[in-house]
Amino acid sequence: MNTFHALKERLNTKLSGWKEKLLSQAGREILIKAVAQAIPTYTMSVFKLPDTLCDDMTCMVRSFWWGQSNGKNKLAWLSWEKMCSPKEKGGLGFRDLKAFNLALLAKQGWRLQNNHGSLVHRVFQARYFPCTDFLHAELGSKPSYAWRSIMDAQAVVKAGCRWQIGDDHIHTTFPSIELESIQSHAPCDRRMEYPLLQQIFLPDDVNTVLGIPLGSFKPRDRLIWAYTPRGVFTVSSAYKLALSMTQSLVTADLSDGDT
Protein backbone atom coordinates (compact mmCIF):
# COMPACT_ATOMS: atom_id res chain seq x y z
CA MET A 1 0.00 0.00 0.00
CA ASN A 2 2.80 2.43 0.90
CA THR A 3 4.46 1.73 -2.45
CA PHE A 4 1.59 3.40 -4.30
CA HIS A 5 0.97 6.13 -1.73
CA ALA A 6 2.43 8.73 -4.10
CA LEU A 7 -0.49 8.18 -6.50
CA LYS A 8 -2.97 9.10 -3.80
CA GLU A 9 -0.96 12.19 -2.88
CA ARG A 10 -0.77 13.33 -6.51
CA LEU A 11 -4.52 12.90 -6.91
CA ASN A 12 -5.20 14.76 -3.67
CA THR A 13 -2.95 17.63 -4.80
CA LYS A 14 -4.81 17.95 -8.08
CA LEU A 15 -8.25 17.84 -6.52
CA SER A 16 -7.34 20.27 -3.75
CA GLY A 17 -6.11 22.78 -6.30
CA TRP A 18 -9.29 22.54 -8.36
CA LYS A 19 -11.58 23.03 -5.37
CA GLU A 20 -10.38 26.59 -5.10
CA LYS A 21 -11.74 27.39 -8.55
CA LEU A 22 -15.31 27.82 -9.69
CA LEU A 23 -16.04 24.93 -12.00
CA SER A 24 -19.23 23.85 -13.69
CA GLN A 25 -20.31 20.21 -13.55
CA ALA A 26 -19.17 19.84 -17.16
CA GLY A 27 -15.78 21.26 -16.23
CA ARG A 28 -15.47 18.87 -13.31
CA GLU A 29 -16.36 15.95 -15.54
CA ILE A 30 -13.63 16.82 -18.03
CA LEU A 31 -11.00 17.29 -15.32
CA ILE A 32 -11.90 13.99 -13.65
CA LYS A 33 -11.78 12.00 -16.89
CA ALA A 34 -8.81 13.71 -18.53
CA VAL A 35 -6.56 14.33 -15.53
CA ALA A 36 -7.63 12.80 -12.21
CA GLN A 37 -8.44 9.30 -13.45
CA ALA A 38 -5.44 9.37 -15.80
CA ILE A 39 -2.91 9.80 -12.98
CA PRO A 40 -2.60 6.10 -12.05
CA THR A 41 -2.87 4.78 -15.64
CA TYR A 42 0.84 4.11 -16.20
CA THR A 43 1.22 2.30 -12.88
CA MET A 44 -1.97 0.29 -13.42
CA SER A 45 -0.66 -0.98 -16.76
CA VAL A 46 2.09 -2.86 -14.88
CA PHE A 47 0.80 -3.49 -11.36
CA LYS A 48 -2.55 -4.22 -9.77
CA LEU A 49 -3.35 -1.50 -7.27
CA PRO A 50 -4.66 -2.61 -3.86
CA ASP A 51 -8.43 -2.51 -3.64
CA THR A 52 -8.26 -0.21 -0.62
CA LEU A 53 -6.22 2.30 -2.61
CA CYS A 54 -8.69 2.19 -5.49
CA ASP A 55 -11.54 2.72 -3.03
CA ASP A 56 -9.77 5.71 -1.43
CA MET A 57 -9.05 7.32 -4.79
CA THR A 58 -12.60 6.73 -5.94
CA CYS A 59 -13.90 8.32 -2.75
CA MET A 60 -11.75 11.39 -3.39
CA VAL A 61 -13.06 11.74 -6.94
CA ARG A 62 -16.66 11.29 -5.81
CA SER A 63 -16.25 13.97 -3.13
CA PHE A 64 -14.83 16.36 -5.71
CA TRP A 65 -17.69 15.66 -8.11
CA TRP A 66 -20.50 16.24 -5.63
CA GLY A 67 -18.70 19.12 -3.92
CA GLN A 68 -18.68 20.32 -0.33
CA SER A 69 -20.74 22.65 1.80
CA ASN A 70 -19.39 24.13 5.04
CA GLY A 71 -16.50 21.68 4.97
CA LYS A 72 -18.75 18.64 4.63
CA ASN A 73 -19.34 16.47 1.58
CA LYS A 74 -22.66 16.98 -0.14
CA LEU A 75 -25.12 14.15 -0.53
CA ALA A 76 -24.37 11.81 -3.44
CA TRP A 77 -27.52 11.48 -5.51
CA LEU A 78 -26.25 8.63 -7.65
CA SER A 79 -24.24 5.51 -6.86
CA TRP A 80 -20.71 5.30 -8.21
CA GLU A 81 -21.59 2.12 -10.12
CA LYS A 82 -24.29 4.06 -11.97
CA MET A 83 -21.92 6.96 -12.63
CA CYS A 84 -19.44 4.54 -14.22
CA SER A 85 -22.10 3.34 -16.66
CA PRO A 86 -22.01 4.74 -20.23
CA LYS A 87 -23.97 7.91 -20.85
CA GLU A 88 -26.33 6.09 -23.20
CA LYS A 89 -27.29 3.93 -20.21
CA GLY A 90 -27.90 6.86 -17.89
CA GLY A 91 -24.43 7.10 -16.37
CA LEU A 92 -21.58 9.56 -16.74
CA GLY A 93 -18.91 7.29 -18.16
CA PHE A 94 -16.44 7.61 -15.31
CA ARG A 95 -13.87 4.85 -15.00
CA ASP A 96 -14.15 2.13 -12.45
CA LEU A 97 -10.51 1.99 -11.35
CA LYS A 98 -10.51 -1.69 -10.43
CA ALA A 99 -12.00 -2.77 -13.76
CA PHE A 100 -9.75 -0.41 -15.72
CA ASN A 101 -6.73 -1.77 -13.86
CA LEU A 102 -7.70 -5.30 -14.92
CA ALA A 103 -8.20 -4.17 -18.53
CA LEU A 104 -4.71 -2.67 -18.69
CA LEU A 105 -3.20 -5.80 -17.17
CA ALA A 106 -5.22 -7.94 -19.59
CA LYS A 107 -3.40 -6.14 -22.39
CA GLN A 108 -0.12 -7.42 -20.96
CA GLY A 109 -1.59 -10.92 -20.70
CA TRP A 110 -2.80 -10.76 -24.30
CA ARG A 111 0.71 -9.81 -25.41
CA LEU A 112 2.20 -12.68 -23.45
CA GLN A 113 -0.20 -15.04 -25.20
CA ASN A 114 0.45 -13.76 -28.72
CA ASN A 115 3.84 -12.01 -28.92
CA HIS A 116 6.14 -14.95 -28.34
CA GLY A 117 9.17 -13.19 -29.73
CA SER A 118 9.23 -10.37 -27.19
CA LEU A 119 11.79 -10.22 -24.42
CA VAL A 120 9.06 -9.94 -21.78
CA HIS A 121 7.44 -13.14 -23.03
CA ARG A 122 10.72 -15.05 -23.00
CA VAL A 123 11.50 -13.94 -19.45
CA PHE A 124 8.06 -14.71 -18.01
CA GLN A 125 7.76 -17.97 -19.92
CA ALA A 126 11.13 -19.22 -18.68
CA ARG A 127 10.17 -18.38 -15.10
CA TYR A 128 6.47 -19.16 -14.84
CA PHE A 129 5.09 -21.20 -17.77
CA PRO A 130 7.92 -23.01 -19.61
CA CYS A 131 5.70 -25.89 -20.80
CA THR A 132 2.44 -24.11 -21.65
CA ASP A 133 1.03 -20.71 -22.64
CA PHE A 134 -0.30 -17.75 -20.67
CA LEU A 135 -3.91 -18.94 -20.78
CA HIS A 136 -2.93 -22.12 -18.97
CA ALA A 137 -0.21 -20.66 -16.77
CA GLU A 138 -0.37 -20.86 -12.98
CA LEU A 139 0.77 -18.40 -10.35
CA GLY A 140 3.67 -20.58 -9.27
CA SER A 141 5.83 -20.32 -6.18
CA LYS A 142 7.22 -17.01 -4.96
CA PRO A 143 5.83 -14.98 -7.89
CA SER A 144 6.89 -11.40 -8.46
CA TYR A 145 4.32 -8.68 -7.89
CA ALA A 146 4.30 -7.92 -11.63
CA TRP A 147 3.46 -11.55 -12.49
CA ARG A 148 0.87 -11.75 -9.72
CA SER A 149 -0.73 -8.60 -11.11
CA ILE A 150 -0.92 -9.93 -14.67
CA MET A 151 -2.32 -13.23 -13.44
CA ASP A 152 -5.17 -11.34 -11.75
CA ALA A 153 -6.28 -10.37 -15.28
CA GLN A 154 -5.97 -13.89 -16.70
CA ALA A 155 -9.70 -14.49 -16.22
CA VAL A 156 -10.48 -11.42 -18.37
CA VAL A 157 -8.22 -12.67 -21.18
CA LYS A 158 -9.78 -16.14 -21.02
CA ALA A 159 -13.29 -14.69 -21.12
CA GLY A 160 -12.53 -12.48 -24.12
CA CYS A 161 -10.56 -14.75 -26.46
CA ARG A 162 -11.78 -17.29 -29.01
CA TRP A 163 -10.06 -19.55 -31.51
CA GLN A 164 -10.63 -18.76 -35.18
CA ILE A 165 -10.54 -22.03 -37.13
CA GLY A 166 -8.06 -22.21 -39.99
CA ASP A 167 -6.30 -25.46 -40.78
CA ASP A 168 -7.69 -27.03 -37.58
CA HIS A 169 -4.17 -27.56 -36.22
CA ILE A 170 -4.99 -26.24 -32.75
CA HIS A 171 -8.16 -28.34 -32.58
CA THR A 172 -6.28 -31.56 -33.33
CA THR A 173 -3.35 -30.70 -31.11
CA PHE A 174 -5.34 -29.40 -28.15
CA PRO A 175 -8.77 -31.07 -28.33
CA SER A 176 -9.67 -29.85 -24.84
CA ILE A 177 -9.61 -26.20 -25.95
CA GLU A 178 -13.04 -24.72 -26.57
CA LEU A 179 -13.09 -23.42 -30.13
CA GLU A 180 -15.32 -20.77 -31.63
CA SER A 181 -14.89 -19.48 -35.16
CA ILE A 182 -15.83 -15.98 -36.24
CA GLN A 183 -19.27 -15.18 -37.60
CA SER A 184 -18.06 -15.12 -41.20
CA HIS A 185 -16.69 -18.67 -41.10
CA ALA A 186 -19.67 -20.44 -42.71
CA PRO A 187 -18.96 -19.83 -46.43
CA CYS A 188 -15.21 -20.44 -45.98
CA ASP A 189 -15.06 -23.86 -44.38
CA ARG A 190 -15.61 -26.89 -46.63
CA ARG A 191 -15.80 -29.14 -43.57
CA MET A 192 -18.95 -27.42 -42.39
CA GLU A 193 -21.66 -29.98 -41.85
CA TYR A 194 -24.80 -29.69 -43.90
CA PRO A 195 -27.17 -29.51 -40.88
CA LEU A 196 -25.20 -26.58 -39.50
CA LEU A 197 -25.49 -24.76 -42.82
CA GLN A 198 -29.23 -25.25 -42.65
CA GLN A 199 -29.27 -23.57 -39.25
CA ILE A 200 -27.32 -20.55 -40.49
CA PHE A 201 -28.70 -19.94 -44.00
CA LEU A 202 -32.05 -20.01 -45.73
CA PRO A 203 -32.81 -23.26 -47.60
CA ASP A 204 -32.34 -21.65 -51.02
CA ASP A 205 -28.90 -20.38 -50.02
CA VAL A 206 -27.43 -23.64 -48.72
CA ASN A 207 -26.59 -25.03 -52.18
CA THR A 208 -25.17 -21.67 -53.19
CA VAL A 209 -22.86 -21.70 -50.19
CA LEU A 210 -21.77 -25.27 -50.88
CA GLY A 211 -21.03 -24.32 -54.48
CA ILE A 212 -18.58 -21.58 -53.60
CA PRO A 213 -15.10 -22.61 -54.80
CA LEU A 214 -12.49 -22.57 -52.05
CA GLY A 215 -8.80 -21.90 -52.39
CA SER A 216 -6.22 -24.42 -51.31
CA PHE A 217 -4.60 -22.04 -48.80
CA LYS A 218 -5.80 -22.39 -45.24
CA PRO A 219 -4.37 -20.09 -42.58
CA ARG A 220 -3.34 -21.42 -39.23
CA ASP A 221 -5.76 -21.34 -36.34
CA ARG A 222 -5.33 -18.13 -34.42
CA LEU A 223 -6.52 -16.56 -31.24
CA ILE A 224 -8.84 -13.58 -31.70
CA TRP A 225 -10.46 -11.11 -29.33
CA ALA A 226 -14.20 -11.76 -29.35
CA TYR A 227 -15.30 -8.25 -28.35
CA THR A 228 -14.08 -6.28 -31.36
CA PRO A 229 -15.28 -6.67 -34.98
CA ARG A 230 -11.84 -7.60 -36.33
CA GLY A 231 -10.73 -9.71 -33.41
CA VAL A 232 -8.07 -7.21 -32.30
CA PHE A 233 -7.59 -6.61 -28.57
CA THR A 234 -8.40 -3.15 -27.27
CA VAL A 235 -8.27 -1.83 -23.73
CA SER A 236 -11.70 -0.21 -24.09
CA SER A 237 -13.38 -3.52 -24.98
CA ALA A 238 -11.46 -5.32 -22.23
CA TYR A 239 -12.60 -2.65 -19.77
CA LYS A 240 -16.26 -3.23 -20.64
CA LEU A 241 -15.74 -6.96 -20.18
CA ALA A 242 -13.89 -6.52 -16.88
CA LEU A 243 -16.55 -4.10 -15.63
CA SER A 244 -19.34 -6.56 -16.40
CA MET A 245 -17.39 -9.36 -14.70
CA THR A 246 -16.70 -7.35 -11.55
CA GLN A 247 -20.29 -6.15 -11.34
CA SER A 248 -21.51 -9.72 -11.74
CA LEU A 249 -19.29 -10.79 -8.86
CA VAL A 250 -20.65 -8.01 -6.67
CA THR A 251 -24.22 -8.99 -7.52
CA ALA A 252 -23.46 -12.63 -6.74
CA ASP A 253 -21.91 -11.71 -3.39
CA LEU A 254 -24.94 -9.62 -2.48
CA SER A 255 -27.27 -12.48 -3.43
CA ASP A 256 -25.28 -14.92 -1.33
CA GLY A 257 -25.47 -12.54 1.59
CA ASP A 258 -29.26 -12.39 1.37
CA THR A 259 -29.66 -16.16 1.59
Spell out the per-residue pLDDT of the chain, length 259, in tens.
Answer: 567 889 999 998 888 877 656 778 888 888 889 888 899 999 999 999 999 999 999 998 988 888 766 666 676 777 888 888 888 888 888 999 999 999 999 999 999 999 999 999 999 999 999 999 999 999 999 999 999 999 999 999 999 999 887 655 554 444 334 444 433 343 444 444 577 777 888 888 887 877 776 666 667 778 899 999 999 999 999 999 999 998 776 555 545 555 5
Strand partners, 225: 161
Helix (H, G, I), strand (E, B) or coil at 24: coil
User: What is the rounded distance in angstroms from the CA atom of residue 250 to the CA atom of residue 240?
Assistant: 15
Helix (H, G, I), strand (E, B) or coil at 61: helix
Asked if residues 61 and 94 have their Cβ atoms less than 8 Å apart, the reply is yes
Amino acid at 65: W
Helix (H, G, I), strand (E, B) or coil at 163: strand
User: What is the rounded distance in angstroms from the CA atom of residue 121 to the CA atom of residue 127?
Assistant: 10
User: What is the rounded distance in angstroms from the CA atom of residue 130 to the CA atom of residue 114?
Assistant: 15
pLDDT at 256: 54
Domain boundaries, the chain: 2-95, 161-224
